[in-house]
Amino acid sequence: MKRKLMMVERIMYVDSQTPLNCVFTARINGTLSEENFKIALAKIQQKHSLLRTTIDDKSEPYPFFVEEKEIKPIELRIVERKTDEDWLLESEKEWFHLFNEEKEPLARMVWVKGPEMSELLWVVPHCIGDGTTGVTLIRELLYLLDDPSLELDPYQAFNSVNEFFPANSNGNKRKYKANLYLMFARIFFLMQRKSKKRNLGKNYAIHRKLDSKTTVQVTEKCKAHGISVHALLCTAFMQAFQEIKGTQAKGKVISPVDVRHFIPEIKQDHLFAFAPTVELSLKKGKQDMIDHAKLIKEELIQKIDKMEARELLWMGEQMHPVVERMISMLKSTTGGHDITLSNMGKIDIPKNYKHFKLETIFSPTVAFPWLNSNTLVTSTYNQEMDFTFMSNEYFLPKEEASKIRDKALELLTQPIPV
């Protein structure tokens, strides 16, 4: 396998000197074997070809994934568990690990090991996977730790986004459209004033988990009012930004959508990094939170219905000449949104195993190098909604982020008469 990084993968790769890692964490109760870890990681590495690649950014104008015949095993780092918060500290350490050693695979594992309770942390560069990727890796790891004799079926990785288009599709029309967009993009970047602003602050993550009773109350409230949990989350956090930041709030969020909904050839258990996004906003003149959430739900449905994920993938591939300008812009501009809000929904992983129990799953953490690195990831496991809120001290001080998070959760959980 030798494949050029897709445009979105290049953005998440940033460059060879800038780490951008996602950390996916599960907490388990039970006894684990280090030998079983080695077997499990080897089998997972054999299933996913991206875990047998390195990134070559020297021999070609653009970086490539290159499969290594003699790739190193996925590293297992073991840390003594002292507190319930150690996983978050280790997660923050792993944000800045560069996968740049010779024949080093694009993943590593951290075992925060206690006598009974442990946390397992998957660390992968964002350029090889999204939230669904993290769920897949956790699920496969737990199955194999419990029963190392299980086998995983490998799959054929794609070599080009052209594979996602039927042979009779109108390539000439797409090419004309892409050239037009590329021309507009070049003009746009030429017109942008260069900014010296950068993310110079310390990246951080704050975490909160709602208990099952509160989580059920939130979901029942959404059902009663005919709104989605995602719409209510977006509304609560945008309103919280307005209350804490005042006129500095933008009243907009960016929400990634799982590309697998649109391109079924990309299976749920395939590693893939591209997530198309939609921008959602609070509507002026509306005060009631439920009314806002209803409008946001409608807006989200409309934008998803119009989304052409295959087209977006292909168009992105024509934008490689301006990727570096895109990255530079992300590093130096505040953007027009308050936060990127990724709701992973309910996580479908079994709780009980023969040798241990899965206590909980924490929402992923990530430290974007962008100036506006405000990111919220939510997920629900075992009827407990989990939140990780990430940013940097320069753009959004941690104290302010905590106030926004607390206000949003207050709005999210407040009772509303039906």
Task: Name which of 30, 53, 22, 229 is nearest 136 in CA terms.
Answer: 22
Number of H helices, E strands in the chain: 11, 14
What is the pLDDT, as a whole number, of residue 178?
Answer: 66
Instruction: Return the sign of the alpha-carbon dihedral for residues 270, 178, 333, 300.
Output: negative
Model confidence at 286, pLDDT cuts 50, 70, 90, reads low
Structural domains of the chain in order of their starting residue, each with its CATH number: 2-152 (3.30.559.10), 201-347+368-413 (3.30.559.30)
Burial readout 330-339 (b: 16 or more C-beta within 10 A, e: otherwise):
bbbeebebbb
Mean pLDDT taken over the chain: 92
pTM summary value: 0.93
Residue 200's pLDDT band, with cuts at 50, 70 and 90, is confident
Q: Round to whole Å and give the CA distance between 207 and 169.
A: 46
Q: What is d(CA 413, CA 411) in angstroms, rounded to the nearest whole number?
A: 6
Token output for 144 = 């194999």
Tokens of 404: 């926004």
Give me the count of residues in the chain.
418
pLDDT digits (tens, 9 = 90+) for 54-112: 999 999 989 999 999 999 999 999 999 999 999 999 999 999 999 999 999 999 999 99
Percent of the chain with pLDDT over 70: 92
